[in-house]
């Protein structure tokens, strides 16, 4: 834990969720194997938290424990001030909604019926839907912007639309906390952005707290109010995305042999070897694209002109390079990349 | 419920009524419909014989068929939803094999004399003894599977477990069959054919309430079944006590399957085919519609199978078990091929 988390949380009264010295992991008959230990976290209503960390570090285990889908090894989880162990599953379902990665396969069921399933913890034994239930379902469908999908067959929706509907179903439970385990894992890029944007919007519209795990770091850094970062050793760093960037935690958690975190851009770059420096002359989009090609081919793009640097001019009709041993030009970036690779072969 | 679903359900009620009356009229001696109706109303002074045939023989048979069909249909639906597997049926946990073993031990085994003596002492003869044996055998296997499966988290593993138990028990039955005397094999084979005719009014007093209330209880689980459509993880997150629901559903569906097997012999395929038929017909997975549909459809299909098994007329009867399989297999194939995405596809 960073020293940040605990004191800052104690100062606050109303936490939707908090953990006290929580340890999560697996128990067999003989032993307990902790994946994450000494976890002290908190979320307020209206906050969007992104849980980040390398694969297999225990993010899902933590989320499953927060949602009472598996028991804590030690410590406690409190939802709205009440210990999770004292809340029955039925009661919990009225306060906490869950969305998982798994792709739901249901044959022939309209979207509205799926969302109605979210009324499960509020309805009686036979699951009769009242007028109030219907209003909540309508609200949930509108909240995720799925009104035009309401009467369609769930199995005919795209993956992104399905996750939207699953979120609406969780909202129909009228929870104070939404826990989502990699809800965007199978989605294409626009759907990912949409789902994260939707989650952010939900925290802004009502007293809802959202905890979501994701592998989409750059998107998470742009949308989250708070980041919970699990480091490779299992310790956790928390804070606003910018705090986590500044502390170097992100770089430490994810950097590998071929990848490097650029704090200024809050994004990762592929390392492709060092072929010296290059300067781009020109401006605007075309200059940026030329720089992208140079970086991919292993050049460090610098601003200041150096005699030894490769100089590439980006202009309206394409690119132009003048070097000691010749010159090249072309209209598209494939030809620039080919030219740069050709120079490598000569060198 | 949409208007279309209501229309289909009403249509099923009408179809069931028609098939029910037909099942009373058709048989080795066809009886005119008018007389069947008169006999049902207790007023047919002209022809005593037809009254007896209808009320004493055909009526209990048809009622048995309907109850058995409804039981197998709803138990199959529960198992398919619970295991999210289109091939699951009421016998998925080895119940049918367990019942076979019980019957085989009594009919084929060296314990026949002892069992018969015991049965006589208890006031049971023939059919009743076989029924008791089937129930004991099914209960033993079911108990074993439930005890072991209560420790297993993954539903697919439970399904495989039931399958393995079934194989093992069937193997023991095969050994018994191999070692038994030819004259007893006849009786064994007879049981294996399956039949709704063995249940008389007297036996219906037990079979009737068991299956009727079994179907009623199963019908009350629609909410839980709907939650399970999204898988056990989501069902749990919405407040369903998944382990308990799974255990109770397995128990209920298996008991229904076991009771039907005990009284009517092994009747395959109804449990698999009827839920698929209803999904195909209604185009929905919503159990609030499927459950009544499965009860009606199961009853109707069982009656149709009963009528078909009597088609040879004086030349005898077709084994019921063969009729249900021959009818069921093409129907399931057709339904699966027709729904392009397929039930449970993906």
Reported as a single tens digit per residue, the pLDDT across B46-60 is 667 777 778 888 899
CA B208, CA B210: separation in Å to the nearest integer? 6
Token pair in block for residue A12 = 């606050």
Angle between helices B127-149 and B201-219 (to 10 degrees): 20
Architecture of domain A5-257: 3-Layer(aba) Sandwich (3.40)
ipTM for the complex shown: 0.80
The model's confidence at residue A80, banded by pLDDT at 50, 70 and 90, is confident
Predicted confidence (pLDDT) at residue B296 exceeds the cutoff of 90: yes
Residue B269 pLDDT exceeds 50: yes
* Contact between residue A12 and residue A42 where contact means Cβ atoms under 8 Å apart: yes
> What residues of chain B have any CB closer than 8 angstroms to a CB in chain A?
84, 220, 222-223, 226-227, 229-231, 233-234, 236-241, 279, 283-286, 288, 339, 341-346
Contacts of A93 in chain B (CB under 8 A): 237-239
Closest chain B C-alpha to A13 CA, distance in angstroms: 27
CA angle B178, B182, B184 (to 5 degrees): 95
Interchain pair B229, A109: CB under 8 A: yes
In this prediction, residue B278 has a pLDDT band, given cuts at 50, 70 and 90, of very high
Given a cut of 90, whether residue B275 has pLDDT beyond it is: yes
Q: Which residues of chain B neighbour A69 with C-beta distances below 8 Å?
A: 233, 236-237
Of the listed ranges A228-242, A311-325, B51-65, B103-117, the least confidently predicted one is B103-117
Q: Identify the residue whose tokens are 């519209």.
A: A205
The pLDDT of residue A10: 46
Predicted confidence at residue B343, as pLDDT, reads 45
Judge: A103–B288 Cβ closer than 8 Å, yes or no. Answer: no
> Residue B263 above 70 pLDDT?
yes
Report pLDDT for B346: 35
User: How many Å apart are CA A116 and CA A127, to the nearest integer?
Assistant: 10
Residue A300, both tokens: 């460090």
Our CA-based measurement puts residue B332 at a distance from the nearest CA of chain A, in whole angstroms, of: 16
| CA geometry: angle A72, A73, A75, nearest 5 deg | 75
Segment B231-235 mean pLDDT: 90
Q: Using 50, 70 and 90 to split pLDDT, how confident is the model at B299?
A: very high
pLDDT over 60 at B340, yes or no:
no
Residue B156 lies in a domain: yes
Q: How far apart are alpha carbons A169 and A150 in whole angstroms?
A: 12
Q: Which of A243, A189, A235, A247 is nearest to A214 (CA)?
A: A189
Confidence band for B37, pLDDT divided at 50, 70 and 90: confident
Asked if B223's CB is within 8 angstroms of A120's CB, the reply is yes
pLDDT of residue B66: 96
**Residue A8: is its pLDDT beyond 60?**
no
Query: Mean pLDDT across the stretch B160-184?
Result: 86
Q: Radius of gyration (Cα) for chain B, nearest Å?
A: 20
Q: Rounded to an integer, what distance in angstroms lies between the CA atom of residue B78 and that of residue B162?
A: 16
- A173 contact residues in B (CB cutoff 8 A): 238
Interface test with B, best of A60, A106, A107, A166 (most B CBs within 10 A): A107
Average model confidence (pLDDT) for chain A?
Answer: 85
How far apart are the C-alpha atoms of A118 and B248, rounded to whole Å?
23
Over range A104-126, report the average pLDDT. Answer: 87
The pLDDT score that the predictor gives to residue B344 is: 44
Containing structural domain, residue B144: 3-338
Angle at A258 between CA A253 and CA A261, to 5 degrees: 45
Higher pLDDT, A272 or A66: A66
What φ, ψ does residue A93 adopt, rounded to 5°? -65, -20
Tokens of A9: 């949380």
Q: Which of B184, B207, B311 is nearest to B264 (CA)?
A: B207
Q: Which residues contact B185 (CB under 8 A, 6 or more apart)?
A: B108, B177
Does a structural domain hold residue B85?
yes
Angle in degrees, 0-180, between the axes of helices B95-107 and B242-264, rounded to the nearest 10? 30
Q: Is the pLDDT confidence value at A127 over 80? A: no
Question: In whole angstroms, what separates CA B34 from the centre of its chain?
Answer: 31
User: And the tokens for A98?
Assistant: 């869950």
Count of H-run helices and E-run strands, chain B: 16, 0
Nearest to A172 by CA among A134, A124, A140: A140
The DSSP bridge pattern shows strands A277-281 and A300-302 to be parallel
Q: What does the pLDDT read at residue A6?
A: 44
- Whole-angstrom Cα distance, residue A202 to residue B68? 51
Whether residue A56 contacts residue A230, with contact meaning beta carbons closer than 8 Å, is answered with: no
pLDDT value for A27: 83
| Residues of chain A found within 8 Å of residue B237, distances taken between Cβ atoms | 67, 69, 93, 96-98, 170
Q: Taking CA atoms, what residue in A is nearest to B284?
A: A108
Q: Cα separation of A103 and A182, whole Å? A: 11
pLDDT at site B205: 87
Q: Closest Cα to residue B320, out of B285, B268, B248?
A: B268
A with B: how many residue pairs have Cβ under 8 Å apart?
80
Is the pLDDT at A186 greater than 80, yes or no?
Answer: yes
A108 to B279: CB separation less than 8 angstroms, yes or no:
yes
CATH number at residue B233: 1.10.3470.10
Asked, for residue B297, whether it belongs to a domain, the answer is yes
Residue-level pLDDT at A176 = 93
Q: What residues have CB less than 8 Å from B217, skipping those under 6 apart?
A: B252
Q: What is the rounded average pLDDT of the residues B170-192? A: 84
Position B55 in a domain: yes
Q: Number of structural domains, chain B?
A: 1
Q: Provide, as residue numbers in chain A, all residues whose Cβ is less than 8 Å from the Cβ of B231.
A: 102, 104
Q: Is A155 helix (H, G, I), strand (E, B) or coil?
A: helix
> Which of A89, A91, A118 is facing B236, going by the closest CB pair?
A89
Among candidates A67, A106, A126 on the partner chain, residue whose Cβ is nearest the Cβ of B222: A126
- Residue B173 in any domain: the answer is yes
User: Where are chain A's structural domains?
Assistant: 5-257, 277-346
The yes-or-no verdict on residue B119 having pLDDT over 60 is no
For residue A233, the 8-state DSSP code is: T
Give chain A positions within 8 Å (CB) of B286: 109, 113
pLDDT of residue A92: 93
Looking at the predicted structure, is the pLDDT value of residue A193 above 60?
yes
Spatial contact of B247 and B150, defined as CB atoms under 8 Å apart: yes
* pLDDT at residue A4 tops 70: no
SS3 A19: strand
Instruction: Say which residues have a Cβ less than 8 Å from residue A74's Cβ, sequence separation at least 6.
Output: A21, A22, A23, A34, A37
Confidence of residue A1 (pLDDT cuts 50, 70, 90): very low
The structure tokens 């084979």 sit at B189
Q: Is B230's CB within 8 Å of A93's CB?
A: no
Residue A110, CA atoms < 13 Å, CB-side half-sphere: 14
| Interface contact B239-A92, CB threshold 8 A | yes
Band (B118; pLDDT cuts 50, 70, 90): low
Given this model, what pLDDT does residue B312 score?
76
Q: What is the mean pLDDT of residues A9-19?
A: 69
| Contact criterion met (CB below 8 Å) for B90 and B254 | yes
Q: What would the mean pLDDT of B227-251 be, rounded to a whole number?
A: 90
B24, B93, B58, B65: which is closest to B274 by C-alpha? B65
Rounded mean pLDDT of B61-88?
Answer: 93
The residue in chain A having the minimum alpha-carbon distance to the alpha carbon of residue B220 is A126
Residue B345 C-alpha, separation from nearest chain A C-alpha, in angstroms: 7
Question: What sign does the CA torsion over B161, B164, B170, B176 have?
Answer: negative
pTM of the model: 0.83
Q: What is the pLDDT of residue B334?
A: 82
**A71 or A263, higher pLDDT:** A71
Query: Is B344 part of any domain?
Result: no
Tokens of B282: 């209604």
| Mean pLDDT value across residues B206-227 | 91
Instruction: Give the H/E segment covering residue B53.
Output: none
**Residue B345 pLDDT greater than 60, yes or no:** no
Residue where the block lists tokens 């009769």: A128
Question: Could you write out the DSSP letters of every residue in B187-226?
Answer: HHHHHHH--STT--HHHHHHHHHHHHHHHHHHHTTHHHHH
User: Nearest CB to A117: which of B227, B233, B283?
Assistant: B227
pLDDT at B216 (0 to 100): 92
Choose among B239, B286, B288: nearest Cβ to A120: B239
Supply the pLDDT for residue B57: 84
In angstroms, what separates the C-alpha of A155 from chain B's closest C-alpha?
9
Domain-embedded: residue B345: no
Q: How many other C-beta atoms are found inside a 10 Å radius of the C-beta of residue B166?
A: 21
From CA B21, how far away is CA B14, in angstroms rounded? 11
Q: Are strands A300-302 and A318-323 parallel, antiparallel or unpaired?
A: unpaired
């Amino acid at each position: 834990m960073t020293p940040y988390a605990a004191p800052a949380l104690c100062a606050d009264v109303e936490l939707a969720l908090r953990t006290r010295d929580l340890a999560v992991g697996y128990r067999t008959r003989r032993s307990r194997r902790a994946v994450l230990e000494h976890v002290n976290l908190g979320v307020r209503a209206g906050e969007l938290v992104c849980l980040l960390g390398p694969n297999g570090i225990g993010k899902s285990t933590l989320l499953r424990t927060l949602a009472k889908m598996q028991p804590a090894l030690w410590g406690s989880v409190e939802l709205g001030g009440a210990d999770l162990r004292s809340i029955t599953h039925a009661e919990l379902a009225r306060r906490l909604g869950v969305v998982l990665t798994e792709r739901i396969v249901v044959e022939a069921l309209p979207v509205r019926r799926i969302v109605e399933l979210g009324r499960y913890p509020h309805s009686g034994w036979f699951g009769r839907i009242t007028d109030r239930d219907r209003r909540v379902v309508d609200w949930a469908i509108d909240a995720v912007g799925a009104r035009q999908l309401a009467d369609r067959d769930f199995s005919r929706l795209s993956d992104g639309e399905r996750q939207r509907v699953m979120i609406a179903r969780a909202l129909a439970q009228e929870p104070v906390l939404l826990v989502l385990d990699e809800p965007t894992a199978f989605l294409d890029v626009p759907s990912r952005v949409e789902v994260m944007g939707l989650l952010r919007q939900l925290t802004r519209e009502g007293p809802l707290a959202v905890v979501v795990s994701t592998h989409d770091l750059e998107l998470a850094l742009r949308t989250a109010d708070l980041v919970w970062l699990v480091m490779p050793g299992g310790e956790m760093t928390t804070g606003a995305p910018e705090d986590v960037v500044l502390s170097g935690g992100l770089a430490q958690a994810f950097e590998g042999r071929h990848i490097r975190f650029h704090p200024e851009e809050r994004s990762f770059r592929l390392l492709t070897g060092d072929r010296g420096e290059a300067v781009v002359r020109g401006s605007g989009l075309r200059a940026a694209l030329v720089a992208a090609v140079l970086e991919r081919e292993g050049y460090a793009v610098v601003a200041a002109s150096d005699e030894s640097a490769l100089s590439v001019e980006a202009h309206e009709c394409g690119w132009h390079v003048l070097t000691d041993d010749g010159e090249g030009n072309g209209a598209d970036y494939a030809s620039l990349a080919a030219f740069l690779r050709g120079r490598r072969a000569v060198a | 419920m949409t208007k279309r679903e209501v229309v289909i359900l009403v249509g099923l009620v009408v179809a069931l009524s028609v098939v029910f009356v037909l099942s009373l009229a058709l048989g080795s001696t066809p009886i005119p419909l008018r007389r069947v109706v008169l006999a049902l109303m207790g007023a047919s002074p002209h022809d005593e014989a037809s009254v007896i045939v209808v009320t004493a023989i055909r009526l209990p048979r048809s009622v048995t068929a309907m109850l058995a069909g409804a039981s197998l249909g709803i138990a199959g639906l529960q198992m398919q939803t619970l295991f999210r597997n289109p091939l699951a049926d009421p016998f998925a946990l080895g119940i049918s094999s367990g019942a076979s073993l019980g019957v085989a031990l009594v009919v084929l085994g060296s314990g026949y004399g002892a069992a018969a003596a015991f049965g006589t002492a208890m006031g049971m003869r023939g059919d009743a003894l076989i029924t008791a044996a089937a129930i004991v055998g099914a209960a033993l296997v079911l108990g074993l599977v439930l005890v072991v499966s209560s420790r297993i988290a993954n539903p697919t593993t439970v399904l495989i477990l039931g399958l393995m138990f079934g194989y093992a028990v069937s193997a023991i039955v095969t050994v018994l069959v191999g070692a038994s005397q030819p004259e007893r094999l006849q009786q064994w084979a007879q049981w294996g054919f399956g039949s709704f005719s063995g249940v008389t009014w007297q036996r219906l007093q037990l079979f009737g309430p068991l299956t009727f209330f079994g179907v009623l209880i199963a019908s009350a689980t629609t909410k839980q079944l709907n939650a399970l459509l999204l898988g056990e993880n989501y069902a749990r997150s919405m407040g369903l006590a998944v382990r308990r629901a799974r255990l109770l559903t397995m128990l209920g569906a298996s008991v229904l399957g076991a009771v039907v097997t005990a009284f009517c012999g092994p009747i395959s395929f109804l449990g698999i085919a009827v839920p698929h038929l209803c999904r195909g017909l209604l185009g929905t997975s919503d159990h609030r519609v499927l459950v009544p549909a499965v009860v009606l459809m199961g009853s109707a299909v069982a009656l149709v199978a009963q009528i078909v098994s009597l088609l040879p007329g004086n030349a005898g009867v077709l084994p019921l078990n063969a009729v249900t399989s021959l009818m069921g297999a093409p129907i399931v194939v057709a339904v699966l091929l027709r729904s392009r995405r397929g039930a449970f596809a993906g």
